[in-house]
Amino acid sequence: MDAVKALSACLSEVSAGRGRAGVRHALRYGPIAGVARTPRLLAIAQEILGLDAFPFRATLFEKSSSANWLVVWHQDTALPLCQHNETQGWGPWSVKEGVTYAHAPSEALSKVLALRIHLDESTALNGPLHVLPGTHKLGVLDDGAIRQLAEQISPVECEVPMGGVLAMRPLLVHGSSKSRSGERRRVLHIEFAASPQIAEGLRLQVA
């Protein structure tokens, strides 16, 4: 709990690159990079991805009464890469804040795991993550398939105490509702991969 409070204090000073919903490419900040490499988190990632697992991207999500946003059902399929290298099954490509991105195939995304550190309690009232269980096994889905699954599968709300860590796969269909309270909800979303070489000719960019 002390580590969470220390990290919270550090994040309150992070202003560069902060958008309405939080901070992207957060591994550029030393304290966040340090948290991502703590033995506790690495042990979780290594148990699932293998002993070479490493953090490659971090995002701080911050929902509050002044930044209250809705996230529709989706999968996380875009990965940061060291360079643009046209490869079958990858794309479309884009550049965000100077980082090259491409939407990845399911084979590559199966080598990725996200660990979400909750800096505040996540409750049913402050817009928690909600997921469609089992959908990470269905591969990359188009918008129509995701809408159909949302009608067929009962969603699960992920209520997590302050300091709790939630693990999820990027292909798990997920979203979040707007907060119905004035409670702040901050989550540090750190992504790990089994190896920097995510596919032949493609390496992950640390962001």
Mean pLDDT value across residues 87-116: 97
Tell me the two tokens of residue 101: 């991105």
Beta bridge partner(s), residue 113: 192
Q: Taking a C-beta distance cutoff of 8 angstroms, is the pair 160, 118 a contact? A: yes
Mean pLDDT value across residues 15-40: 80
Beta bridge partner(s), residue 114: 168, 191
Alpha carbon separation from 149 to 78, 92, 140, 153, 178 (Å, rounded) = 21, 24, 13, 6, 21
Cα–Cα dist 62/77, whole Å: 21
pLDDT of 9: 63
The domain ranges of the chain are 2-203
Pairing of strands 22-23, 18-19: antiparallel
Reply yes or no on whether the pLDDT at 18 is more than 80: no
- pLDDT per position as a tens digit, 143-179: 999 999 999 999 999 999 999 999 999 999 999 988 8
- pLDDT per position as a tens digit, 35-81: 999 999 999 999 999 999 999 999 999 887 677 778 999 999 999 99
Tell me the two tokens of residue 36: 């991502």
The CATH class of the 2-203 domain is mainly beta
Tell me the two tokens of residue 172: 């798990």
